[in-house]
Structure 1
C-alpha cells in the first residue's frame, strides 16, 4: 500500500480560515478518491500560517481492471430512449440484448482497464483546487486562478515519488503562458530561520525535516508548546495565566515556530479599566493576560514570536512593549477625555448615527427601546423608570472616543461612564449587560432591570427588521437576527418570564409605525430642518412596513424555528415543539416549554406510545375515507347508532375526559392533562380490537368514522399529534 503527501505552500493564511481550510482539503481529496473507487486506510490534514498539508495512507498503487454492467430500456422502447441510453455510455462499451423475467432489455458491458493511482490523483487534485472555496480569495501577478494568498509551490508525492502535477495558468497581455506551478518533492522550512528548499520522500521524512527547519506542522502541538512555555513563565513570575482557548488557537495559527516571551505593562496604565487593558492586549496585539493570585490583572503579558533571535528575544519584547504602550496611551487619552462629558449629554449625538437607511438613526432605536423597556419591565419585575433610564443611556457610549477606537468595549464602557456620572448602579449594570447573551455560551442576565433592557434591545431589532422585510435567508444573517432571537428565548426561559410575545411584538410595531398613516414608517433625512412658506419642518422618507398581524405571525414562526435549535442542543425533539406550537395562539415560551416537557414525558411511557399509534391509525383511516367519500367526518357522533359496548365505552370516556383535559390545560397542569390522555388507552385499544369501522351498514360506518375523528380531536386538544414522528404501523 502507498502513501500520498500533498503540500500547498503560500504566503500567510489568515488564522481564522486555517482550520476550515484543512478540513475542506481533506474532505475534497477523500471524496475524490472514494468517487474514483480508491480505498484508503487513513487521512489527516495539517495547517500552518504558510502551508496546507494532507497525508493519505493505505492507497493501492493501481486501480484494478473491472467490468460493470448497466441495464438499459426494453428492446421495443422508443428509438429516442434507446439512442439516449447508448449515447450515455463511455467509449468502448459493448451493448447486447438479454432476456429477463420482465422481458428483453438492452444491457451494456463496460470494461475498464487498470489505471495507475498517480494519474487518478492528478485529476483529483485539479478538481480539488478548482472547487476549493475560501471566504476571501485573491489573484496575483497575471494569474487566472484564485487562492487565499499567492501560492508559491506545490509538493505532491505518491509512493515515495513526485507526481507530475501542474496547476495554474498565468497569462500576460501578450497572451503567452508563463509560470504555471509544477509540483515536485521540494518544500522549505521557516521563511527566516531556514529558507533553503529541501527534498522529502515521505510524510515521516517531511514532518521530521520541517521540525529540523523550525516548523512545527501540527497546530495542536504548537498550541501545546505555547501553553506549556507560557505557564512556565507565569509560574516563575508567581503569576497565573488567564485561560483563553480561543486566543491560544488563534496564536497557534499565527506562528510556525512559537517562541514565548514575557513583557511588562507600564504601571501608568494600570488604573485603566481591566477590560480596556485585556481588549487592547487580546484583540489588537494577541497577547495573553497574566493575573495575580486574587485574580487582579498583573502588569505583565505573554507574547508569542515566530522566530528566535540572537539576543534571546530582548528586542522582540522591547518592541512589543513599545507598541502596547502607544496603544494604551491612546486608551488613557480617551478614558480621560470621555469622562469630561456625561453619557446623558452624548445621547443626542446618536441622531447622526444611522441605524438603517429605512429605520432611521440609533437615536430612533433608543427612543423605541426606552418605551419597550418600560413595558417589558412589568414582566421582569423591574422598576420601569430605572429600565427606561438604562435604555436611554444604553447606546450613548457609541459616541465616546474609547468605543470608537475599541468597538469591542461598547456597553462595558457605558457602565464605567454611567457610574462616573453618578447614575444608579442598576442603570450602569443594565447598560453593560444589554447586549447579552451574545451567543449560546455567553452568560445570560438575571437581574430584572438588565433582562428588561436586553429584551427591549433584541425585540426591537427583530421587529423593525422583519417589518421592512430584512429577514435572514439561508446562511445570510447580516443583522444577527438569529442570535437576537436565541437571546430573547434564553432571557425569557432562563428567567421564567411569563410574557406574551405577540403583545410585545404589536407594541413594538406601534412604536415604529407612523401614528397617522398605517403601514408605513417615516424616516428623517438628515438632522436639519427645512423652512418653507414660514413653516419649519424635517424632510422624511417614507417606507412601507408589514402589518402588525403579518409581522407577529412571521416572527412567532421564526421564534419557533430558533426554539427548536435551542432545545435540540438540550436533547429535546423538534417534532414535540412542532406539535405544541402548530396549534397556534401560543406565545408564552415558559408555558410552551412546560407543555413540551409534559408531552415528551407522556410519549416516553407505554401508554403514550400506544396512544400515538392509535392516533395515527385513526387519523389515517379517517383521511383515506374522507378522500374516497368526498366529505368530512368531523360532526357529532350519533349515540343512537352506537351498538357495541366497546364503541359506547370509548365515546363515553372521550365525552367525560374532554372537559377535564380543557380544565387541566387552562390551569397549566400539563402533567394532569397527559394523565387524562393515558386513561384513554384501554377504551381506544378495545375499540380497535373489537369494532369493525368499515362495516356493511353505511350509517354505522359513518358514525364510527366520526368516533375515530373524536379520538384525534381529543388528543389534538393537548398537542397536534400528527406532527409527532413515529407511531406508524
Structure 2
C-alpha cells in the first residue's frame, strides 16, 4: 500500500505564548488518535509551532484505508419471523438499516440461540476524502479557555485563522480547515520576508523552506538557538546569564527568527535590591539578567528580538529607553516604602482580607505569631524571634513595592525588616516564610524561618477546614495540597522534631478562642480531619517517590506510627529496609496467621494464666514475648526488627506443637490470650500483615 508524508499548516494571528506548545501537542495527539480510529496507518507525527502557525507532519501516512469488514448483529431469529414465515418489523428494520433485503442477511449461532447478522466487506476510502474532517475534528476538539470568532462565520479558535495548507506527497489536498479552503501556500516572517505567499513542497523540506523565509518552525531549535545566543553574549560582557526555563519557553513562543541583543541600564539602580530589578526586567520586559562571578547583579540585560535589524543599535537603544523608567519606578517604590516601618503597617493589614470567614491578614499574622512561637519552643529555638517574625511576615503586603510586584512578597518584607533594625534572624525568617513556593522548591534555610513557614501553612489549613472548605478534586483555591506538603517537607528534610498533631491542635485552639470566627466543627474533630488529610497527602508523596504503599500503611496501622514526621520518615526507611530482609516473609506470614486466628475470635485480650500453660512451646513463647517486649522498650526502632526476627523460630515452633483452638474452652481462651500478646508485640513495630510478597 502506497504511503507518503502529509503536511498540514494552519496560519493564525499571533498565538498566546503560554498556550502555543500545549496547543501544538494537543493537536498532534488528537490527530494521531483520529488517524488510528480511521485505520489510516502512519509512522509518527511531528509538530511545529511559531507565534503565527501550527504545523504537523505525518510520516508515511497510508494513501487509503485497508478493506473494511463490517459485522452487525440483529434481532433473534425467533423474533425476526412470524408463524407464517414472513419477516417481522424488527427484521425488516434491521435489513433496511444495513441497506439489504432480509433474504441477504446471515445467521449467527450462539449458546443463547440464533441471531440475524449482516456481514460485508467494502474497499477502504481514500485518505484524501477523509483527512479534512479528521483534521477539523482534531483541532476543534482541543480544549480552549477563550475561543475567538472572526468574520461572519461561527468557526472558533484561539486566534483568527488566515490560511490553511494541506499537502500529501507534495501535492495539495482540497479540503476546508476551520472554514478556509486549503492550498499549498504559506507566509514567511511578518517583517523580514516579502509579505507575499510562497509555495510549500514536500513535508521533508518544510523546515528548510520556512527557514529560507526567516521562520524557524521547530520550537526546540529556536529554544536552543536562544540559549546559545544568551550564553555567547554573557561571555562577551564578562558575566553569567541567569536563564529561567519558564522565561526561555515564553520567549521561544514569541519569536519566529530569534536574535539576541544586549543592553545596559544605569548602575545607580543597583542600590535597589536586585530581586526588584530582576522582577521588573523579567515580568514586564521578558529580559534575562547577568550576574558577576560573585553573584552580584550586573547593569546589563539580554533580550530576544524577533527580527535581524540592519540597525541593531537602534533596537538596543529603544529597549534601554523602555527599561529605564521601569527601574526608576521600582526605585521610587523602594524609597517611599522606607518612610514607614513594617511594624507601623500592622494595623493596615486589617483592611486586607485573608478569607471572608477567617478575617483579615492582621488577624492571621497574630495567629501565625502564636503558632510560630509554639513551634520554636518545641525545637529549643528563641520563641521571641519566631513570634516577632510571625507578626511582621505579611506587613509587606501593604507596601507600594509588593503592590506593583506581587512576586516579591516576603522578599521585600525581609529587606524592610533589616532596614527597620530588626535582627537578622527575624528578617531572614520573613524572607523565607513563603517557601517552598512550588512542588520540590527551595525550603527555608533557617530554623525560625521554618517555624514561621510551617505556622503560616498550618494556619491556612486549619482555618479552611474549620469553616468547611477543604480542597476537593476540582477546587483548591488556597493551594492547600501544596501548603500541606510544603509544611511536611520542611519537617522531614530539615529533620525537625516537631509533632504535626501538636501544632495542628494549637492552631485549632487559637481559632476556637476567637469569637469572631465561627468554626463548623469542634476543635477535636477539626484536628483529626486536618491531620488525616496531611497523612493521606504524605502517603501519596511517599508512594510517588517509590515507597510501596503497603509499607506506609503497615506503619500507619501499627502502634509505632507517629506524627513527628522526622521520626516517621526514619521508621519508614527502616521498615522498607526490613521489607527486603530475608527474614521478612516468615515474620509477615506469622503475623498474618495470628491476625487471621484472632479475627475469628470474639475474645477480648485477657491476661495470660501461666498456670494453664501445658505445652513446653507455650512456656517458651510466653517467656520470649516478655523478654523481647522488655528489650524493645530499651531499643531503637531499627533494632526492634532484629528482635522480631529473633523470636520468629519460637513462634513457628509454637504453631507446630500447640493446637490453639482447643476443645477445652479455658485452654483455648488462654492460648488466644497468648496470641493477643504476640499480636501486640508485632503491632508495637508495624502491622506486618499489611505487607505483601
Taking structure 1 as the reference length, the TM-score comes to 0.83
Q: Distance in 1 between matches of 2:523 and 2:672?
A: 40
Deviation at 1:401, TM superposition (A): 0.9
Preserved CA contact (<8 Å) 1:90 1:110: no
3-state SS of paired residue (2:137)? helix
Q: Distance in 2 between matches of 1:678 and 1:83?
A: 71
Deviation at 1:139, TM superposition (A): 3.7
The change in CA–CA distance for 1:73 and 1:499 in structure 2 (over 3 A counts) is farther
Q: Distance in 2 between matches of 1:682 and 1:664?
A: 18
**Structure 1, residues 277-331: CA drift from partner, whole Å, max 9, x if none?**
11111222111111223332111110101112231x2222111111110100101
1:111 matched to 2:110: no
Preserved CA contact (<8 Å) 2:571 2:637: yes
Preserved CA contact (<8 Å) 2:598 2:672: yes
1:611 aligns with one of 587, 592, 602: 587
Per the alignment, residue 14 of structure 2 pairs with: 12
Preserved CA contact (<8 Å) 1:581 1:592: no
Per the alignment, residue 221 of structure 1 pairs with: 221
Unaligned 5+ segments in structure 1 are: 169-179, 516-520, 524-542
Per the alignment, residue 489 of structure 2 pairs with: 490
1:673 matched to 2:672: no
Per the alignment, residue 362 of structure 2 pairs with: 363
1:26 aligns with one of 14, 25, 28: 28
Unaligned 5+ segments in structure 2 are: 82-88
3-state SS of paired residue (1:303)? strand
Segment of structure 1 superposing worse, 606-615 or 683-692: 683-692
The change in CA–CA distance for 1:687 and 1:33 in structure 2 (over 3 A counts) is farther
1:522 matched to 2:513: no
1:59-70 → structure 2 map (5 Å cutoff): 59-67=61-69
Deviation at 1:699, TM superposition (A): 10
1:307 matched to 2:307: yes
Deviation at 1:366, TM superposition (A): 0.6
Per the alignment, residue 551 of structure 1 pairs with: 526
Preserved CA contact (<8 Å) 1:664 1:672: no
Per the alignment, residue 527 of structure 1 pairs with: none
3-state SS of paired residue (1:115)? coil
3-state SS of paired residue (1:106)? strand
1:91 matched to 2:98: yes
Deviation at 1:495, TM superposition (A): 1.9
1:155 matched to 2:149: no
The change in CA–CA distance for 1:347 and 1:83 in structure 2 (over 3 A counts) is farther
1:46 matched to 2:13: no
Taking structure 2 as the reference length, the TM-score comes to 0.87
**Structure 1, residues 638-683: CA drift from partner, whole Å, max 9, x if none?**
999999x7xx74x666645555665666667222222233235445
Per the alignment, residue 580 of structure 1 pairs with: 555
Preserved CA contact (<8 Å) 2:140 2:157: no
Segment of structure 1 superposing worse, 330-339 or 671-680: 671-680
Deviation at 1:136, TM superposition (A): 4.1
Per the alignment, residue 238 of structure 2 pairs with: 238
Preserved CA contact (<8 Å) 1:69 1:107: no
The change in CA–CA distance for 1:140 and 1:474 in structure 2 (over 3 A counts) is farther
Deviation at 1:36, TM superposition (A): 2.9
Q: Distance in 2 between matches of 1:227 and 1:681?
A: 61
Segment of structure 1 superposing worse, 548-557 or 34-43: 34-43
Preserved CA contact (<8 Å) 1:74 1:103: no
3-state SS of paired residue (1:497)? coil
The change in CA–CA distance for 1:29 and 1:344 in structure 2 (over 3 A counts) is same
1:560 matched to 2:535: yes
Q: Distance in 2 between matches of 1:634 and 1:606?
A: 33
Q: Distance in 1 between matches of 2:625 and 2:184?
A: 78
Per the alignment, residue 84 of structure 2 pairs with: none
2:176 aligns with one of 145, 166, 180: 166
Preserved CA contact (<8 Å) 1:560 1:581: no
Per the alignment, residue 202 of structure 1 pairs with: 202
Per the alignment, residue 248 of structure 1 pairs with: 248
1:270 matched to 2:270: yes
The change in CA–CA distance for 1:660 and 1:252 in structure 2 (over 3 A counts) is farther
Q: Distance in 2 between matches of 1:578 and 1:90?
A: 56
Preserved CA contact (<8 Å) 2:69 2:120: yes
Per the alignment, residue 338 of structure 1 pairs with: 337
Preserved CA contact (<8 Å) 1:13 1:148: yes
Deviation at 1:371, TM superposition (A): 0.9
Per the alignment, residue 456 of structure 1 pairs with: 455
The change in CA–CA distance for 1:511 and 1:254 in structure 2 (over 3 A counts) is same
Preserved CA contact (<8 Å) 2:50 2:217: yes
3-state SS of paired residue (2:322)? helix
3-state SS of paired residue (2:98)? coil
Q: Distance in 1 between matches of 2:180 and 2:435?
A: 49
Q: Distance in 2 between matches of 1:500 and 1:594?
A: 14
The change in CA–CA distance for 1:9 and 1:679 in structure 2 (over 3 A counts) is farther
Q: Distance in 2 between matches of 1:598 and 1:88?
A: 69
Q: Distance in 1 between matches of 2:597 and 2:140?
A: 54
The change in CA–CA distance for 1:386 and 1:710 in structure 2 (over 3 A counts) is closer
Deviation at 1:211, TM superposition (A): 0.9
Q: Distance in 1 between matches of 2:244 and 2:663?
A: 75
Per the alignment, residue 473 of structure 2 pairs with: 474
1:285 matched to 2:282: no
**Structure 1, residues 257-287: CA drift from partner, whole Å, max 9, x if none?**
1011110111231211111111111222111
The change in CA–CA distance for 1:654 and 1:95 in structure 2 (over 3 A counts) is farther
3-state SS of paired residue (2:6)? strand
Deviation at 1:489, TM superposition (A): 0.8
1:691-706 → structure 2 map (5 Å cutoff): none
Q: How many residues align?
A: 676
**Structure 1, residues 510-568: CA drift from partner, whole Å, max 9, x if none?**
222245xxxxx526xxxxxxxxxxxxxxxxxxx44332222222212221232134324
Deviation at 1:374, TM superposition (A): 0.9
Deviation at 1:334, TM superposition (A): 0.8
Q: Distance in 2 between matches of 1:512 and 1:580?
A: 31
Deviation at 1:691, TM superposition (A): 8.5
Q: Distance in 2 between matches of 1:446 and 1:670?
A: 29
1:138 matched to 2:148: yes
